[in-house]
Amino acid sequence: MSPITQELATAYGGLTALATAIIYAGSFASVKVSAVKGNLLVVHRSLIIAALVSLVLQRPPKDKASQSHKLIPGDEDEESDDEDELEEYIDSETALWYPVLASIVLLGLWAVIKWLDDPELINLIGSVMFGLTGIGAVYSTANAFVRWALGPTLINKFFPRYNLTLTRGVREIFEWKFHSVSVMILPSSVLPSILFVLNRPFEFRRFAINGGILAISFGFNALKLVKLESVRTGVYLLVGLFFYDIWWVFGTSVMVDVATTLNLPIKLLWPKNAHMTHPKDFVLLGLGDVVVPGLFIAQALRFDQARFLALAPVSRARMPFPKPYFTATLLSYPVALLGTMGIMHYTNHPQPALLYLSPACLLSFFLVAAVRGEVKEAWDWVAERKEAIDPDKLPEAQPIVADGAHAGHAPATLVPPMENAAAASGTEDEGTTTGVVQKTRTGGKKRRGGQ
């Protein structure tokens, strides 16, 4: 049993800090709730799929929060809003089945690896798939970071805001709201994916840098876009994957074989030294060991917010709120992860991180609930969710004749029928029918109130 050197301790600490930072940022980004308009955005669905697939390949080791308490800004006001994003919810039934489905996928990958017996070909195909998906992931992550760093005031002042809208007839099927700074980020978002795919012949240093950027982006977007339906769902997920991780690490060599064969952005790396030319020069953590506990920690933050807003949802919408559940679960994560690394080092055997992370997150959450006498409230709580709207299911558009129009003349605006008469206004008002926000524009600047 060798002692932990200063270099190794620094590497363990750096990797733990990186994983915790991803969870922290992704949790606050998940608090933002944007209305999803039009068809489901394919790029965001691909991000979700890529992030969830990475959970299988673990290598063992509009509610708004206050701007001042958010690492990643949400819709602080109407004019700071950026592109709408798709949210995916994991329900309890899916959570119960996930260990089974993950096991099937893992076994399938292992069988393909053994059948093809060509790791280079498998890694090339996987690199192209993750590289293409990574463009959207890196763009979304970089855009969120830049918006947080500059703040809505500077962005609205120096970067023009645009709306890109696609319509089919009179129906709006897609809308992208963005500032010019978002367009500036796009070219640099492509670079990590290109360098990752073109890493031939394979060099581990280049893989560590570019693959690390992609892995961080996948982890952040998974926490931002994928949400647990309830605290109960989180318990089912963590408990199920607790046994999944134990079996596939201690019971067989399948997970280790797959993880060591695939050089894909499904793990976080931190260098032990300056060489960085070989896997032994890094400590690493499976991306699933970040995202799975992170989903529960992010849910704890939204539970804190929901309890706070339940008292006075309108007046408290932009106020800072206490975060006892989030704080407890977040602090338990690095403690458990460092414990996992210590046990792995002294036993010289791979450890299933969820063996330690799942109990730590669950115990810390329910300990707070027990002290506050809120165990039943937490267990019964279900998050409010906004469903995406399929434009094909919207009612047929009916003409509304604006003031001053004559019979027989073309109407000024065509909108679906709605009860809110303000939708016929020439300014940008919002009328809602079956949860759909309809907008009409004059091309002028957005007005507020009676101005």
H or E element in which residue 265 lies = none
Residue 20 in 3-state DSSP?
helix
* Contacts for 213 with CB less than 8 Å, ≥ 6 apart: 138, 192
149, two tokens: 């760093």
Catalytic residue among 75, 81, 84, 289: 289
Task: Name the nearest CA neighbour of 22 among 239, 289, 421, 397.
Answer: 289
**Of the residues 75, 82, 84, 245, which is catalytic?**
245
CA angle 21, 56, 240 (to 5 degrees): 90
90: DSSP letter = E
Q: Is 245 a catalytic residue?
A: yes
In the numeric block, the tokens 């030294």 are attached to 273
Print burial letters for 85-117: b (CB count within 10 Å at least 16), e (below 16).
bbbbebebeebeebbeebbebbeebbeebeeee
- Taking a C-beta distance cutoff of 8 angstroms, is the pair 303, 322 a contact? no
Taking the C-alpha atoms of residue 418 and residue 136, their distance in angstroms, rounded to an integer, is 35
Question: Among residues 293, 294, 286, 285, which one has the least CA distance to residue 358?
Answer: 293
The residue among 269, 210, 221 whose CA lies nearest residue 59 is 269
75 catalytic? Reply is no
CA 425/CA 439 separation, integer angstroms: 9
Degrees, nearest 5: CA angle 259-265-269: 80
How crowded is residue 200: how many other Cβ atoms within 10 Å of its Cβ?
A: 11
Side-chain-side CA neighbours of 71 within 13 Å: the count stands at 15
Residues labelled as active-site residues: 245, 289
